[in-house]
């Protein structure tokens, strides 16, 4: 029987295709960290603050509903632009059945996105036994078989919304209690041999016309967002899309991830921003929706920690703690991310409130004595990359992407980016034409004031 959390994930099952031919619209939503049952947060004395933080991050991910098999089996998966495999959990996966593993999951609810039973599908076909094995930056991993299956987006295996004979991973062993839909370059699939992934097959089977899609997460308070395969929604961003080249891999080859050049960061208020990077600063950053946080160099992160009066407890509990009250102390403190080294290069602005996240499961009463001057204890969703991974890798995760409208154009190795239009209730969808590059399609009138409409800042600047 599915858990209540799983039932909540599977409720929004009516995933409609756009009325435009060549565009597939999939609503996405965020499972809030507060969904963890507060009466069970501290049941296990073995649970550490770090485990609780991991649970919180996982619950802040963005999910999409798919169905797998014939007849369709509903499953929810994390949407991830930073990987390339679609994989799901088998009904018999260890993480779903082992009580000791389940106790380490958020709220002890088991596999929150649902599982797949190959015995109930007439279209199941095993392709590579034990051929699937993937590990993510945070060291979570899954393994099992590669299989072939029918995957659809609205619960019905009709030709206009189903992908047939799609190669996907079927995990029998996992440290994640939910599957992942990787929508990156096929050159980064986990298989020993590159195969056509979900984006490729959507084009090959005529669902969309080009390997491109756009992503709108909306702001931190919003529960839902939108991904358009093959389309752009001009109602969801301000101004015009700026076009950025996707960078090749570190060996000078073709792109394998959605990495773009970040050329500067600034902090402050509208019209009064101060740079916190040098004039020669330039790093590759990956736009990764599967990462809740933002990972940057220590030279950028440390001044932010000091300026906010935050406490770096990364070595002890894996978190940078910060006063929750900073979100409302001054509602117009923003961070600027500059993508280019010219005076006309685009800058995306992120409100401080988007970077300060609640810490569900943390015993505030227990820890409050150490932070008596704070309203309550939150954590900062920016981290020094070297504390997470052994090799330099910089990621702009959901804490950045919520403030941006991003078009991922695989065919042309380009990114289109603009300031997000928060809380847009209208749709103005434009199809991305095959064989053409993304143009600077106009969105809504520029309105930076909307960026600073919610949130807060410390008493002083960073």
Q: pLDDT tens-digit profile of 82-120?
A: 999 999 999 999 988 886 776 555 555 578 889 999 999
pLDDT for position 313: 82
Q: Are residues 52 and 182 in the same domain?
A: yes
pLDDT for position 90: 98
| Residue numbers annotated as active site | 80, 288
Q: Supply the CATH number for residue 290's domain.
A: 2.40.70.10
Q: Are residues 394 and 307 in the same domain?
A: yes
In angstroms, rounded to a whole number, what is the distance separating the alpha carbons of residues 450 and 66? Answer: 33
pLDDT at 8 over 60: no
Last residue of a domain, one of 192, 208, 224: 208
Kindly state whether residue 222 falls inside one of the protein's structural domains. Answer: no
Kindly state whether residue 421 falls inside one of the protein's structural domains. Answer: yes
Instruction: Name which of 126, 136, 38, 52 is nearest 90 in CA terms.
Output: 126
Q: Are residues 193 and 71 in the same domain?
A: yes
Kindly state whether residue 162 falls inside one of the protein's structural domains. Answer: yes
Burial of 210 per CB tally in 10 Å (0-12, 13-18, 19+): buried
CA-based angle 403:60:332, to the nearest 5? Answer: 35
Cα separations (Å) of 199 from 73, 135, 164, 240, 243? 21, 21, 13, 25, 21
Domain that holds residue 44: 4-208
Kindly state whether residue 217 falls inside one of the protein's structural domains. Answer: no
Q: Are residues 275 and 386 in the same domain?
A: yes
pLDDT at 123 over 60: yes
Kindly state whether residue 458 falls inside one of the protein's structural domains. Answer: no
Kindly state whether residue 79 falls inside one of the protein's structural domains. Answer: yes
Contacts of 256 (CB under 8 A, 6+ apart): 184, 185, 187, 188, 249
Q: Are residues 60 and 161 in the same domain?
A: yes
Q: Are residues 185 and 239 in the same domain?
A: no
Q: Are residues 306 and 198 in the same domain?
A: no
In angstroms, rounded to a whole number, what is the distance separating the alpha carbons of residues 245 and 260? Answer: 7
In angstroms, rounded to a whole number, what is the distance separating the alpha carbons of residues 263 and 294? Answer: 16
Selected residue with higher pLDDT from 110 and 249: 249
Cis amide linkage into residue 350, ω under 30° from 0: no
Do 211 and 413 touch, CB atoms closer than 8 A? no
In angstroms, rounded to a whole number, what is the distance separating the alpha carbons of residues 363 and 233? Answer: 42
Three-state secondary structure call for residue 137: coil
Kindly state whether residue 227 falls inside one of the protein's structural domains. Answer: no
Place 443 in a pLDDT band, splitting at 50, 70 and 90: low
Q: Are residues 193 and 246 in the same domain?
A: no
Kindly state whether residue 251 falls inside one of the protein's structural domains. Answer: yes
Do 123 and 116 touch, CB atoms closer than 8 A? no
pLDDT for position 43: 27
CA-based angle 30:138:393, to the nearest 5? Answer: 105
Q: Are residues 189 and 268 in the same domain?
A: no
pLDDT for position 13: 39
Contacts of 269 (CB under 8 A, 6+ apart): 332, 333, 334, 452, 457
CA atoms within a 13 Å half-sphere pointing along the CA-CB vector of 147:
26
Q: Are residues 198 and 55 in the same domain?
A: yes
Least confident of 9-13, 144-148, 377-381, 432-436: 9-13
In angstroms, rounded to a whole number, what is the distance separating the alpha carbons of residues 114 and 91? Answer: 8
Q: Are residues 21 and 98 in the same domain?
A: yes
Do 35 and 356 touch, CB atoms closer than 8 A? no
pTM recorded for the entire structure: 0.86
**What's the domain count of the chain?**
2
pLDDT at 356 over 70: yes
Place 140 in a pLDDT band, splitting at 50, 70 and 90: confident
Q: Are residues 443 and 362 in the same domain?
A: yes
In angstroms, rounded to a whole number, what is the distance separating the alpha carbons of residues 233 and 213? Answer: 10
Sheet strands side by side (includes 377-380): 311-313, 319-323, 377-380, 356-357
**What is the residue-wise DSSP string for 305-371?**
HHHHT-EEEHHHHSEEEEETTHHHHSTT-EEEEE-SSSTT--EEEEEGGGTEE--TT--HHHHGGGG
Strand partners, 125: 148
pLDDT for position 361: 56
pLDDT for position 391: 76
pLDDT for position 433: 86
């Amino acid at each position: 029987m599915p858990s209540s959390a799983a039932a909540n994930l599977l409720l929004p099952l009516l995933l409609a295709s756009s009325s435009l031919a060549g565009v597939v619209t999939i609503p996405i939503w965020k499972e809030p960290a507060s969904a963890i049952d507060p009466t069970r947060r501290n049941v296990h004395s073995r649970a550490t603050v770090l485990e609780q933080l991991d649970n919180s991050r996982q619950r802040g991910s963005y999910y999409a509903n798919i169905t797998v098999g014939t007849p369709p089996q509903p499953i929810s998966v994390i949407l991830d632009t930073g990987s390339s495999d679609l994989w799901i959990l088998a009904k018999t996966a260890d993480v779903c059945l082992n009580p000791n593993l389940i106790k380490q999951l958020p709220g002890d609810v088991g596999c929150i996105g649902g599982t797949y039973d190959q015995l109930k599908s007439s279209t199941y076909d095993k392709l590579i036994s034990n051929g699937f094995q993937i590990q993510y930056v945070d060291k979570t991993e899954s393994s099992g078989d590669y299989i072939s299956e029918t995957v659809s987006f609205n619960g019905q295996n009709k030709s206009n919304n189903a992908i047939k004979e799609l190669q996907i991973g079927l995990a029998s062993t996992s440290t994640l209690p939910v599957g992942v839909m990787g929508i990156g370059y096929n050159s980064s699939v986990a298989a020993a041999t590159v195969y056509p992934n979900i984006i490729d097959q959507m084009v090959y089977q005529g669902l969309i016309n080009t390997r491109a899609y756009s992503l709108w997460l909306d702001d931190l308070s919003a529960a839902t967002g939108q991904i358009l395969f093959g389309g752009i929604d001009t109602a969801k961003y301000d101004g015009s899309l700026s076009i950025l080249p996707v960078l090749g891999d570190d060996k000078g080859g073709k792109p394998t991830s959605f990495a773009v050049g970040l050329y500067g960061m600034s902090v402050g208020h509208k019209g009064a921003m101060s740079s916190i990077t040098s004039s020669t600063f330039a790093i590759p950053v990956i736009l990764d929706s599967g990462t809740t946080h933002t990972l940057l160099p220590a030279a950028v992160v440390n001044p932010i920690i000091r300026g906010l009066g935050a406490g770096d407890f990364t070595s002890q509990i894996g978190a940078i703690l910060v006063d929750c009250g900073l979100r409302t102390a001054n509602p117009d403190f923003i961070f600027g991310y500059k993508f280019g080294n010219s005076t006309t290069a685009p800058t995306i602005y992120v409100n401080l409130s988007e970077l300060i996240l609640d810490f569900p499961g943390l015993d505030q009463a227990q820890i409050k004595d150490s932070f008596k001057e704070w309203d309550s204890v939150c954590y900062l969703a920016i981290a020094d990359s070297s504390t997470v991974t052994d090799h330099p890798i910089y990621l702009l995760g959901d804490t950045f992407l919520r403030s941006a409208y991003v078009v991922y154009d695989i065919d042309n190795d380009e990114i289109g980016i603009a300031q997000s239009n928060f809380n847009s209730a209208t749709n103005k969808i434009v199809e991305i034409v095959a064989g053409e590059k993304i143009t600077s399609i106009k969105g809504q009138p520029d309105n930076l004031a909307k960026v600073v409409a919610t949130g807060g800042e410390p008493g002083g600047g960073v």
